[in-house]
Amino acid sequence: MLTWHILSGIYLKNCTSSYNPVIFSANSNGNGKANLALVSPQEKEKGKGNLNSNTKHKHSFRASPQNGSIAVTGRFTVKMSIVKPLKKLASCVILDLDGTLINTDALLSDVLGGFLSKYGKQWDGREVHKTLGKTPLEAAAAIVEAYDLPCTTNEFISAINPLYSEKWCNIKAQPGANRLIKHFGGHGVSMALASNSPRVNIEGKISFHQGWKESFSVIIGGDEVASGKPSPDIYLEAAKKLNVEPSSCLVIEDSIPGVTAGKAAGMEVVAVPSIPKQSNLYTSADEVINSLLDLKPEKWGLPPFQDWVEGTLPIESWYIGGPVIKGLGRGSKVLGIPTANLSTEGYSTVLSEHPSGVYFGWAGLSTKGVFKMVMSIGWNPYFNNPEKTIEPWLLHDFAEDFYGEDLRLVIVGYIRPEANFSSIESLIAKIHEDGRTAEKALDLPIYSTYRDDPYLKSCVKDSSNL
Ligand code: RBF
Ligand code: MG
C-alpha cells in the first residue's frame, strides 16, 4: 500500500468504486508526492479539472512500479471540489509544423533578406507577424504588398520557393520537439501533423528530422482541404483521419490563425507563441506556454513527461561565452543577485534558438575557475526589457567584480519559464529558489560531468578552482 498526496493533475469528481479499475499514471518526485494524471476511458464526460496544489487528499492504492512510473489500480473514493474550469481529456495530439515543431523564423529572415535586397529593399523582421500561420499565398501577398514589389504574388512564390526548399535541411527542431514526439510516440498517443504548407513541403521539411515521419499517423497539408487556417478544415480533417472526435484532440500551435482554427474545430488548444512578448494576443487558446519544454501533458489527460529530475529538466547541452559586461544597472548586486551579464554580440542566432527561461549549468572564468551557475534568458518580464539578455548568476561569493573577463558557459538544464511577479521581493525569492535548485541538481552525475567540459577548461588559466 502506498499513500500519495495528489499535488496536481486531472481527476474525476466524486470517483467511486464504480469506476474501478481506473488507471492513474503517477510520476513521483521522490519525496512521496506525485504528479497525477487520471485516465478513465469509461468516464470521459465526467468532471475533470486541476487540483489545487494546497488541496491534500490521502488515498490508498495498491501500486505496481513500472519503469519508474506507478500504475495504480484499485478501489477508491475521491471527494473534492473543482477549483478550475473543467478541461476536456485529450487522447490525440495534433501539431502544427512551422514555428511549433521547427524553427522556421530564422529561415524566413534569411531567404527574404537576400531576396528583397535584390530589389533594393531591406527585410524588416517586424513584418514576420504578417506571415505567421498564413497560407503560402496569403503570406506572399502580404509581403508583395508590404514591400511594394514589382511582381505578382505568384511570381514572388515561384522565385522564393526554390530558395526555401534548398534550406530545409538547415531548419532546426524547436527545443523540446524531439522530446515531445518521442514521448507521445512511446506512450502510444496518436499524433497528427496539420500545417497550412502544401503536403510536399511538409514531407520535405520533416524528412530531415529522424523518426518524425513515422511518428505521425496522419499528415494534412493546406492543399488537401478547401481552406487553410484559421478555417477549422485542416484540424477537422486531421481528427477524421485519426478516427477520433475533435473534442478529444489537443492542438499545439504557435500562430494566432492556427489557434483560431483549432478552437473553431472544437479542440483544446495550447499556444506556444513563436514571437516574443505577444502571449496576451492568444486569448482564445486554452493555455499559453512559453516553449515546448513547458508542456504538461497531464493537464490534458495525457501521459506526463518523466524526465524531470529534482525540479530540473536535462537538456542537450549548449555553449556560449564572451566578455562579462555591465548589465542594465538595476543593481542586481544590491538585490543580492550579482549577475555576470554576457555580451550577446555575435550570439543572436544562439539566442533566438533558445526559448527564454531559467537555465543552469557550469561557468568558467579565465582567472578564477569553474563555478555552478543559474541564469535567465529573456526579456525579464518584471522589468520588461527591450532586448533579450543572458544573465548568469555564478553561485559563489566573489571578492571583486570581473567586468571584461572571459566567461564561458555550458548550459545543461532547464528550470522554468521567466515570469512576472507582483513584487520585487517575490522575484528575488524565486531567483534564490532557482539558485538552490541549480546548486543541488549540479551535484547529480547527469549534470556534474559537464564541470570537466573542455570548453570550460580551455579558458581557465589558474587551476586553483579545478
Ligand atoms: N526576471 C524576471 O523578470 N522574471 C524572472 O522570472 C526572472 N528569473 C530569473 C532567474 C534567475 C536565475 C536570474 C539570475 C535572473 C532572473 N531574472 C528574472 C532577471 C532578473 O530580473 C535580473 O537579473 C535582475 O537584474 C536581478 O536583479
Ligand atoms: Mg505555425
Residue 304's nearest CA partner among 22, 36, 66 is: 36
What distance in angstroms lies between residue 428's CA and the mean position of ligand 1's atoms?
Answer: 8
Provide the CA 55 distance to its chain's centre, in angstroms: 27
Mean predicted confidence (pLDDT) in 120-144: 83
Q: Kindly give the distance from the C-alpha atom of residue 420 to the centroid of ligand 1, in angstroms, as a whole number.
A: 9
- Contact of 50 with 8, CB cutoff 8 Å: yes
Residue 203 has pLDDT above 60, yes or no: yes
Give distance in angstroms: CA of 305 to centre of ligand 1.
26
Give the start-end residues of each E strand in 203-345.
218-220, 249-253, 268-271, 287-288, 313-323
Q: From the CA of 272, which ligand is nearest? A: 2
Report residue 465's pLDDT band, with 50, 70 and 90 as the boundaries.
low
**What is the C-alpha to C-alpha distance for residues 175 and 184, in angstroms, rounded to an integer?**
16
Q: pLDDT value at position 47?
A: 32
347-385 pLDDT per residue, tens: 778 888 899 999 999 999 988 899 999 999 999 999 888
Q: Supply 98's cell numbers.
A: 512551422
| Local confidence band at 241 (pLDDT 50, 70, 90 cut-offs) | very high
* Tens digit of each residue's pLDDT (9 = 90 or more) over 410-464: 999 999 999 999 999 999 999 999 999 999 999 999 999 999 999 997 777 655 5
d(CA 74, CA 22): 7
Sort 432 into a burial class: Cβ within 10 Å, 0-12 / 13-18 / 19+: middle
**Which ligand 1 atom sits closest to the C-alpha of 419?**
6
Buried b (16+ CB within 10 A) or exposed e, 170-180: ebebbbbbbbb
Q: In 3D, which of 294, 250, 257 has the Cα closest to residue 272?
A: 294
- Give the pLDDT mean for 125-151: 84
pLDDT grade, residue 309 (50/70/90)? very high
Q: Which amino acid is at 304?
A: P
Residue 2 has pLDDT above 90, yes or no: no
Catalytic residue among 237, 254, 268, 391: 391
Average pLDDT estimate for 65-74: 37
Q: Tell me which ligand sits closest to the C-alpha of residue 437.
A: 1
Give tens-digit pLDDT for 411-421.
999 999 999 99
Cell of 382: 518584471
96 carries an active-site annotation = yes
CB within 6 Å of ligand 1 — which residues? Answer: 327, 330, 332, 335, 337, 339, 358, 374-376, 380-383, 391, 393, 418-419, 427, 431, 434
Between the CA of 425 and the centroid of ligand 1 the distance, in Å, is 12
Q: Find the mean pLDDT for residues 171-188.
A: 96
Give the percent of the chain with pLDDT over 90.
53
Q: What is the pLDDT of residue 336?
A: 79
**Cβ(26)–Cβ(4) below 8 Å:** yes
Kindly state the average pLDDT of the residues 326-338: 68
What is the CB-side half-sphere exposure of residue 418 using CA atoms within 13 A?
22
- C-beta contacts of 120-129 below 8 A and 24+ residues apart: 121/147, 121/149, 128/275, 129/275, 129/278
The C-alpha cell at 90 is 485529450
Q: What DSSP string runs through 43-62?
A: GTTS---BPPTT---EEEEE
Beta pairing partners, 6: 34
Give the chain's end-to-end CA distance (angstroms, integer): 47
Q: Give me the numbers of helices (H) and strands (E) for the chain, helices first please.
A: 12, 16
Is 307 a residue of the active site? no
Q: Which ligand has the shortest distance to the CA of 251?
A: 2
Q: Whose CA is nearest to atom 25 of ligand 1?
A: 332
Judge whether residue 115 has pLDDT over 50: yes
Question: Which atom of ligand 1 is closest in space to residue 328's alpha carbon?
Answer: 25
pLDDT band at 42 (very low <50, low <70, confident <90, very high): very low
Mean pLDDT of 182-194: 98
In single-letter form, the type of residue at position 86 comes to L
Q: Which atom of ligand 1 is nearest to 382's Cα?
A: 3
- Residue 308 in grid coordinates: 524531470
pLDDT at 193: 98
Regarding pTM above 0.75, the answer is yes
pLDDT attached to residue 376: 95
In this structure, the number of other CB atoms found within 10 A of the CB of residue 77 comes to 10
Catalytic annotation present for 391 = yes
CA distances in angstroms from 402 to 36, 43, 368, listed in the order given: 46, 61, 10
**Percent of the chain at pLDDT above 70?**
78
